[in-house]
Amino acid sequence: MKLPLDITKIQSFYTYLKSGTWITFPNIVFLLITAFSLIMILSGFVSAMNNSYIGDGVLRFLLLATGILFIIQTVKIRFKHHYTIKLLLPTICFIIILFLFAYFLPLFPPKYDLRPYEITASLLKFLVISIFLILTGLLSLSFNIRSFFGFTSKGKQYSAYIVLIFSILLILYPLIIFIGNITVNGIGGINWEFLTEDVRSHGQQGGIVKALIGTICLIIGVTVISLPLGIGAAVYLTEYAKGGIIVRIIRITVDILQGIPSIVFGLFALAVLVPLFGISLINGILVLSFLTLPIIIRASEEAILAVPGSIREGSYALGASKWQTIKRVVLPPALPGIITGGVLGLGRAAGETAPIMFVACVFLGAPHIPNLFAPIQALPYHLLTLIYYLGAYEVEQNAWATAFLLIAIVLLINAGSILIREKYRVEF
Amino acid sequence: MLLNSKIKETIVKYIFFLLAATSIFIVFFIIYFLFNEAFPAFQEYGFSIFESDWSVPREVYKIGAALFGTALVTIGAMIIAIPLGLLSAIFLSEIAPYRVRTFLKPIIELLAGIPSIVYGFLGATLLVTYLVPTFDLLKGISIFAGSLILGIMALPIIISISDDALKAVPRDMKEASLALGATKWETIKKVTFPTAISGISAAVIMGMGRAIGETMAVSLVVGNVMQIPIPPFDIFESGATLTSIIALEMGEATGIQTYSLFACGVILFIIVGTMSVVSNILKERVAKRFKGG
């Protein structure tokens, strides 16, 4: 049995559509049920997101119409293919459920208070019904496809695909909402004043220039420290190490370092670095370098391992020493991969707040020219303080603009790393 | 000359060794100072530190409530993230056409790249204001909000690692199943997914580690009240997690409070560090297994 809609061949699809041979009774019923199910899912979703209820009449109509269409489809199948009742039993149960829902769901009270059960919330009618609508819509799509394909494993496959596609759409939804909101609300606040002035009156006016400079200083400092360390460690692990206990310990410590929560780095810096340097830029650089080190080690290791052994052996055969081989033969082709990983690590470091909030940052009054041993202002910390001020001062516009700028920087860094990877990729 | 270059080679080798050993020193330092600072708290309270009793006026700082809050928030986040993440990973790696995959993969990486403070900002503004009318709450700041935001944050990690795991399943295994007449979906269910299960568990553990260790986002939406909600499953009340309590109180903490906050850090370090190691071991095992066979 073939799908009625073969999207891959659009040309033939149009002629198929024009010819009208698809207008058969089962196909029409199939398409109608699909449309009703999609309407159910969509209306459930929209009503959940907008705190609105689609109304008893519409709900009853949707459920009853789908139920009746299912009865028609099932009867048709029963007479055409002579399926046993046992095979049709789930569908029949589903139809009964549809009718029960159509009767009972609108009877749900507008607000079912959970406070007698000591839960400080209520179940609101629109939410309960929209959840039921989404689930019913998915189920009816699945039953529809399965009975259309005559309960074969192919039908099962397509109905599973529906769930998979639904889940990926569900994931994309918050992303679109987040990025959309930040762009719409943030881009209006980005202007010359915002980019070139210091904070004034608790962030209600002025801009973020010092925070921007501070974040750039952090990024530069982290690059200077963690890139050589990370590449060196990766070179040792891939080129020199011959296994053994020390290498295993190094690998496990890299795993641990990768897993340490960022706030624990902050605690460590507070206990060790602040007594040494006070609240200063160098603390931030050091602690963020430790945080990015495992990312860079892993990326560099991968990039170096991708260089095939044969060209190393070629270099040795010409009489080059190990260090010469590493310097001239192994590292150059591995460099794009290393830089990609490094840049990704920097992107993470640029956005981190927790490690630097106690040890390197102030909201106001960082020196004009950044100094290793003086505090800095940084974008993530600036945003954090603005969030704390949200109720007290008029900072919302500036907070959105800061969030937009922060996301823009991090995403530009990430996009840059992908560009480097694509442009200088070496194929062996 | 020959001797000279030999010496140089040895020196270079040891320099690289030192660079590689730096991570040992860093981890050692972190462990030492963390435990050193947390020790007085354990000395003061012993095992009763795991009770729930945190009060600044009475100067009692026992961290049980934060531990419970972390568990509750993480369980909620995983209930959201595991099914959605695994289904999306299956879609991406097994059935998405090439173009859809190359379009969606960078978008999911983008989701991972958003800094946690921005998630916190969005949670504190958009999510919280959405939750108030939706669940008829007095204030949207709650454990539930923390779970939601952490679930969204753990998703990209779970998706990209389990996608790698599913992609690593050798093609001939899948093709054998298809040749036996199984459909693509049956192959995924009975062959690909079970074969990739250790890589997928690595992904889940990694996502869980991220959810437990995440600080800024959760501290802005969870409410930071050091109490176990009554009844304990009332996720619409404010709570606190190990990370949020550190982020919020470390600034003004003195004396035994500082030590207790460091104790929170130690517990976080142990939990998340172990998870990271286990997850990486699982991943390496997968790589070895498929390389050999």
Query: SS3 sequence, A11-38?
Result: HHHHHHHHHCCCCCHHHHHHHHHHHHHH
User: Do residues A277 and A402 share a domain?
Assistant: yes
**A273 in any annotated domain:** yes
Domain that holds residue B91: 50-292
User: Do residues B125 and B188 share a domain?
Assistant: yes
Q: Tell me what pLDDT residue A25 has.
A: 80
User: Do residues B211 and B181 share a domain?
Assistant: yes
User: Do residues A82 and A133 share a domain?
Assistant: yes
Cβ contact, residue pair B104, A161, below 8 Å: no
Nearest CA to CA, how far is B121 from chain A (Å)?
Answer: 7
User: Do residues A291 and A201 share a domain?
Assistant: yes
With beta carbons under 8 A apart, name residues in chain B contacting A51: 133-134
Tokens linked to B89: 């990973």
A residues 36-75 near B, CB within 8 Å?
Answer: 48, 51
User: Do residues B223 and B190 share a domain?
Assistant: yes
pLDDT digits 0-9 by tens, B227-262: 888 788 888 888 899 999 999 888 888 888 999 999
With H, G, I as helix, E, B as strand and everything else as coil, classify residue A312: helix
- Report yes or no: B292 at the A interface, CB cutoff 8 Å: no
Q: Tell me what pLDDT residue A8 has.
A: 61
With H, G, I as helix, E, B as strand and everything else as coil, classify residue A265: helix
Of the three residues A162, A184, A206, the one that is the final residue of a domain is: A184
Test mutation, B121, B221, B235, B264, chain A, max A CBs within 10 A: B121
User: Do residues B203 and B80 share a domain?
Assistant: yes
Report CA A193 to chain centroid distance, whole Å: 32
Q: Tell me what pLDDT residue A426 has.
A: 65
User: Do residues B66 and B30 share a domain?
Assistant: no
User: Do residues B16 and B92 share a domain?
Assistant: no
pLDDT digits 0-9 by tens, A219-252: 999 999 999 999 999 999 988 887 788 888 888 8
**A108 in any annotated domain:** yes
- Report yes or no: B34 at the A interface, CB cutoff 8 Å: yes
User: Do residues B200 and B281 share a domain?
Assistant: yes
With beta carbons under 8 A apart, name residues in chain B contacting A237: 20
Domain count, chain B: 2
User: Do residues B225 and B252 share a domain?
Assistant: yes
**A4 in any annotated domain:** no
Closest CA to B27 of A359, A253, A122, A316: A253
**A142 in any annotated domain:** yes
User: Do residues A151 and A199 share a domain?
Assistant: no
With beta carbons under 8 A apart, name residues in chain A contacting B120: 384, 387
User: Do residues A367 and A393 share a domain?
Assistant: yes
User: Do residues B164 and B201 share a domain?
Assistant: yes
**CATH number for the domain including B198?**
1.10.3720.10
Domain that holds residue A97: 10-184
User: Do residues B8 and B67 share a domain?
Assistant: no
Q: Tell me what pLDDT residue A7 has.
A: 57
Domain count, chain A: 2
B128 Cβ contact list (under 8 Å, min separation 6): B139, B140, B141, B145, B221
Establish, for the pair of chains A and B, how many residue pairs have beta carbons separated by less than 8 Å.
268
pLDDT digits 0-9 by tens, B122-174: 999 999 999 988 888 888 889 999 999 999 999 999 999 999 899 888 889 99
- Report yes or no: A78 at the B interface, CB cutoff 8 Å: no
Nearest CA to CA, how far is B116 from chain A (Å)?
Answer: 7
User: Do residues A21 and A50 share a domain?
Assistant: yes
Of A160, A357, A387, the CB nearest to B121: A387
With beta carbons under 8 A apart, name residues in chain B contacting A353: 115-117, 215-216
User: Do residues A203 and A155 share a domain?
Assistant: no
Q: Tell me what pLDDT residue B269 has.
A: 93
Of B24, B133, B183, the CB nearest to A253: B24
User: Do residues A403 and A273 share a domain?
Assistant: yes
pLDDT digits 0-9 by tens, A343-372: 888 888 888 888 998 888 888 877 878 888
Element (H, E) at A122: strand A122-124
**A113 in any annotated domain:** yes
Q: Tell me what pLDDT residue B287 has.
A: 76
- In DSSP terms, B54 is beta-bridged to B61
- Report yes or no: B143 at the A interface, CB cutoff 8 Å: no
Of the three residues A150, A184, A218, the one that is the final residue of a domain is: A184
pLDDT digits 0-9 by tens, A148-163: 887 788 888 888 999 9
Closest CA to A26 of A81, A63, A65, A97: A81
CB-CB contact of A428 with A308 (8 Å): yes
User: Do residues A175 and A203 share a domain?
Assistant: no
Mean pLDDT rounded to a whole number for chain A:
86
**CATH number for the domain including A234?**
1.10.3720.10
With beta carbons under 8 A apart, name residues in chain A contacting B111: 171, 175
B residues 204-223 near A, CB within 8 Å?
Answer: 209, 212-216, 220
User: Do residues B37 and B71 share a domain?
Assistant: no
**A3 in any annotated domain:** no
- Report yes or no: B3 at the A interface, CB cutoff 8 Å: no
d(CA B200, CA B77): 17
Of the three residues A163, A184, A205, the one that is the final residue of a domain is: A184
Nearest CA to CA, how far is A171 from chain B (Å)?
Answer: 8
Cβ contact, residue pair A168, B138, below 8 Å: no
With beta carbons under 8 A apart, name residues in chain B contacting A165: 91
**A2 in any annotated domain:** no
Cβ contact, residue pair A262, B250, below 8 Å: no
**A405 in any annotated domain:** yes
Whole-structure pTM value: 0.89
d(CA A374, CA A370): 7
- Report yes or no: A392 at the B interface, CB cutoff 8 Å: no
User: Do residues A154 and A220 share a domain?
Assistant: no
User: Do residues B8 and B71 share a domain?
Assistant: no
